[in-house]
C-alpha cells in the first residue's frame, strides 16, 4: 500500500476521465439476493455490461437457535443494460444467472492458507470439494442449496439521477429487486421484493487519482424459504480510489461494508458487518472496458472467502461527458 501511494506521488500528471467503482457485489449466499450493493458511477450512461463472478465460500457455525453450514463454490453471470432518458435520468436492469457447486478449489485454498499462515476457518474438518448449504432455526431447515443447481436470480431495476454535475459529481439512485429467483428454498432468489436507495459521489484528487464514495440503505422483503424469515433493513457504504497508470490502464482499490439483514442469530459471522476489499485493474479501449478484480473478506463475516470478478462493458454515451 505504501508503494502504491509513492507511485501516485512520483508519476507525471496526465488527464483521464474517471470511470467509476468496480461493479462487484457480495456473493455470500445468504445475502446475495437481498439487494446487496453493486455501486454505479455517478455519471449517467448508455451501456451494456457482462459480469462473471466466481466465489469460494466456507462458514460452518451454530448458536442456541441457529445453524449455518456453507461449503461451496458459486458462479454468477449477469447482463446489465443502462439507458439515459432523455438526458437527465438513467434507467437500468440487471438479469443474473447463478450456479452453486461443490467446486474444485479446496486443496489449493488450504495450501494458500498454509503458505501465508492464514487461518482456514475449519475447512480441514470437512472432506475437500464436498457441497454444503443449509440455514436452520431451532432444527428447522429454512434454506437448503443444491449441488449443481443452475437458476435465474432476482432481477434488479434502478433509476439514477444526477444532482450535481461539477466536481464533485453527485448522483442518487433508487433500486428494486424483484422476486424472480427460480428457487428461494435453494438460495437462488429471496422470494421477496427488496427496495433501496444510495448516494454516490466522485471527486478528482489529482489528474491521475480519482476518489469515489457511496452510502445507502436497503429495505429487504421477508425471505420466503421453507419458512418465512423476517429480515431487517441494513445500511451499506463503499469507497474507491482509481489511479491511472496510463491512458488505458487503471488500478483500483475498493472497500465495501454492509450490515446484516438477518435476525440476531448469536452467530458473530452472520450478525457482524460484512466487508469486501477489492483490488482490480481496468483496461479501456475507446468505448470498451475490461475489468478484473480480486475480492477478499478482511473480517471473515458475511462474505465469501474470496471472489474473482471479470467484467466487460460497452458504453454508448455518458452524461456528463
pLDDT tens, residue by residue, 128-150: 778 999 999 999 999 999 999 99
Task: Report pLDDT for 110.
Answer: 63
**Contact 174/158 with Cβ under 8 angstroms?**
yes
Which DSSP symbol is given to 6? H
- Residue spans of beta strands (DSSP E) within 7-139: 44-62, 66-84, 89-101, 132-137
Cα 98 to Cα 37, 117, 245: the distances in Å are 17, 32, 34
What mean pLDDT is predicted for residues 39-45?
92
Of 13-17, 73-77, 87-91, the range with the highest mean pLDDT is 73-77
| pLDDT tens per residue, range 210-247 | 999 999 999 999 999 999 999 999 999 999 999 999 98
| pLDDT tens per residue, range 149-181 | 999 999 999 999 999 988 899 999 999 999 999
**Which residue blocks in the chain are alpha helix, DSSP H?**
2-10, 106-116, 268-271
Task: Report pLDDT for 4.
Answer: 39
Is pLDDT of 114 > 70?
no
Q: Residue 168: is the preceding peptide bond cis (ω within 30°)? A: yes
What mean pLDDT is predicted for residues 53-72?
94
Is pLDDT of 9 > 70?
no
Q: Report the distance separating Cα 201 and Cα 151, nearest Å.
A: 34
State pTM to two decimals. 0.88
Q: Report the distance separating Cα 257 and Cα 235, nearest Å.
A: 9
Assigned superfamily of 2-314:
monomeric porin ompg (2.40.160.40)
Task: Report pLDDT for 3.
Answer: 44
What mean pLDDT is predicted for residues 248-254?
95
Task: Report pLDDT for 13.
Answer: 36
Name the band, by pLDDT with cuts 50, 70 and 90, for residue 122.
low
Task: Report pLDDT for 220.
Answer: 97
Is pLDDT of 265 > 60?
yes
Residues present in the chain in total? 321
Task: Report pLDDT for 165.
Answer: 85
The rounded mean pLDDT for the chain is: 89
Name the band, by pLDDT with cuts 50, 70 and 90, for residue 88.
confident
What residues have CB less than 8 Å from 86, skipping those under 6 apart? none
Q: Report the distance separating Cα 231 and Cα 167, nearest Å.
A: 38
Amino acid at each position: 500500500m505504501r508503494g502504491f501511494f509513492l507511485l501516485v506521488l512520483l508519476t507525471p500528471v496526465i488527464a483521464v476521465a474517471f470511470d467509476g467503482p468496480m461493479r462487484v457485489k457480495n456473493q455470500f449466499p445468504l445475502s446475495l439476493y437481498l439487494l446487496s450493493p453493486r455501486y454505479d458511477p455517478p455519471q449517467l450512461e448508455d451501456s451494456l455490461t457482462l459480469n462473471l463472478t466466481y466465489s469460494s465460500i466456507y462458514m460452518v457455525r451454530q448458536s442456541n437457535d441457529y445453524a449455518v453450514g456453507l461449503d461451496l463454490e458459486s458462479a454468477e453471470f449477469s447482463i446489465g443494460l443502462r439507458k439515459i432518458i432523455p438526458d437527465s435520468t438513467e434507467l437500468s436492469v440487471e438479469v443474473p444467472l447463478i450456479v452453486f457447486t461443490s467446486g474444485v478449489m479446496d486443496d489449493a485454498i488450504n495450501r494458500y492458507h498454509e503458505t501465508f499462515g492464514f487461518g482456514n476457518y475449519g475447512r480441514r474438518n470437512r472432506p475437500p470439494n464436498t457441497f454444503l448449504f443449509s440455514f436452520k432455526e431451532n432444527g428447522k431447515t429454512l434454506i437448503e442449496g443444491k449441488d449443481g443447481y443452475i437458476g435465474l436470480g432476482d432481477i434488479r431495476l434502478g433509476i439514477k439521477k444526477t444532482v450535481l454535475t461539477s466536481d464533485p459529481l453527485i448522483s442518487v439512485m433508487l433500486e428494486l429487486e424483484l422476486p424472480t429467483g427460480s428457487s428461494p428454498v435453494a438460495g437462488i432468489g429471496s422470494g421477496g421484493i427488496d427496495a433501496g436507495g444510495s448516494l454516490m459521489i466522485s471527486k478528482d484528487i489529482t489528474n491521475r487519482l480519482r476518489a469515489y464514495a457511496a452510502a445507502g440503505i436497503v429495505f429487504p422483503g421477508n425471505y420466503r424459504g421453507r419458512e418465512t424469515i423476517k429480515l431487517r433493513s441494513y445500511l451499506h457504504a463503499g469507497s474507491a480510489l482509481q489511479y491511472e497508470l496510463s491512458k488505458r490502464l487503471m488500478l483500483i482499490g475498493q472497500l465495501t461494508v454492509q450490515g446484516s439483514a438477518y435476525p440476531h442469530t448469536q452467530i458473530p459471522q452472520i450478525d457482524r458487518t460484512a466487508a469486501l476489499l477489492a483490488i482490480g485493474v481496468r483496461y479501456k479501449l475507446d468505448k470498451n472496458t475490461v475489468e478484473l478484480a480480486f475480492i477478499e473478506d478482511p473480517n471473515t463475516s458475511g462474505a465469501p472467502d474470496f471472489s474473482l470478478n471479470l467484467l466487460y462493458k460497452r458504453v454508448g454515451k455518458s452524461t456528463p461527458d
